[in-house]
Amino acid sequence: DIQMTQSPASLSASVGDRVTITCRASQNIGDYLNWYQQKPGKAPKLLIYGASTLQSGVPSRFSGSESGTDFTLIINNLQPEDFATYYCQQTFMTPRTFGQGTKVEF
């Protein structure tokens, strides 16, 4: 299985901050890397697919990038509704695997 290692597990931030979350794949996954946002009691929501393509309707303050097997999610100008848990996921091969999540807290 491809292991997805996400860091940090949690972070404290304030409205207006720039937040960076990283995800490392245990092997090459090309750009088959997706980012999801999950709020308590809700299903995950797709933010970014293909490492850097914003899903329709997602604000442009979210962005993604890749460098080899390292992937980054950046949230610029953090908004109150962005406090949530973020997960990376690889869809390069089965079994699909997720990172352990990063909780963005106030």
Please report, as ranges, the residues that interact with another protein according to CB under 8 A: 1, 31-32, 34, 36, 42-46, 49-50, 53, 55, 87, 89, 91, 94-101
Given the structure tokens 């970014």, which residue do they identify? 48
Beta strands in 9-95 (DSSP E): 10-12, 19-25, 33-38, 45-49, 53-54, 62-67, 70-75, 85-90
State which residue, 53 or 77, has the beta carbon closest to another protein: 53
State which residue, 16 or 42, has the beta carbon closest to another protein: 42
State which residue, 43 or 67, has the beta carbon closest to another protein: 43
Min separation Cβ 8 and another protein, Å = 15
Nearest one of 94, 89, 85, 96 to 31, comparing CA atoms: 89
